[in-house]
Amino acid sequence: MIETAIGVAVAASCIIITIFLTRNFGPEWAWINRKLIHFSIVPAAVMFYHGIIPREIFSPAAALFGVVQLATHIKHSELGWYQLTHNYGEVFFAFSASAIVFFLPRGYATALLLVMAISDGVTGIVRHFYFKRNGFHVKLKKHWTGSLAYLVTAIVIAFIFLDGDAIRKVIWAAVLMLAEYQPWVDDNLAVPLVGGLMFPLY
């Protein structure tokens, strides 16, 4: 119980501190701030994987975080340094993390969580600086440079956390990369949904 309490405190602190530190960057960096907040769940995912934070705590906590963020949208009082009006990506992220942990086995759930946190975060940052360097409008644009970064990091995660042969792990990463890149469904919903459907293969 003590180990779990400490783990929950550390994981929650990483997320909360990141949220408030990114406030210093301001709304013009909202897209980067969102990705840094994605990264901040990595300690929670790792502690979940090692059994320090059980799913009975992780899943409701992620759902509660989603509710709190949804409330700011409903009240039109978004935290402007990382929340975007009419964009519910961070809400979908929290609810998806809750569902992944609740419904999927620990190892597979961890792989999906880390792809959502690390691969998506790296992707957004790479795309941001590519467009910024080339003088293009950054907001919400996707580009092959970010997708390549997504694919590489997702393959690394797959090799660490997934069972199966190398070809299936690469395919898993590539399919998730395509789910992130497609323009029709928010990637914070598409990636966990597609990843969940692929679970029987792994």
Q: Which two tokens stand for residue 143?
A: 């580009």
Q: Which residues of 131-153 are buried (b: 16+ CB within 10 A; e: fewer)?
A: beeeeeebeeebbeebbebbbeb
pLDDT at 127: 81
86 sits in the region (left: phi over 0; alpha: psi -120 to 50; else beta) called left
Distance of CA 142 to the CA centre of its chain: 16
At residue 164, the pLDDT reads: 87
Structure tokens belonging to residue 61: 């906590």
Cβ atoms of residues 44 and 15 within 8 Å: yes
CA-to-CA distance for 36 and 21, rounded, in angstroms?
10
Q: Where are the alpha helices (DSSP H) in 75-143?
A: 89-103, 106-114, 120-133
Please give the average pLDDT of every successive group of 10 residues along the chain, which has 202 residues: 94 96 90 93 98 97 97 96 94 98 97 97 83 60 84 98 94 97 94 97 86
Two tokens, residue 181:
């890149």
Residues 121 and 147 sit within 8 Å (Cβ to Cβ): no
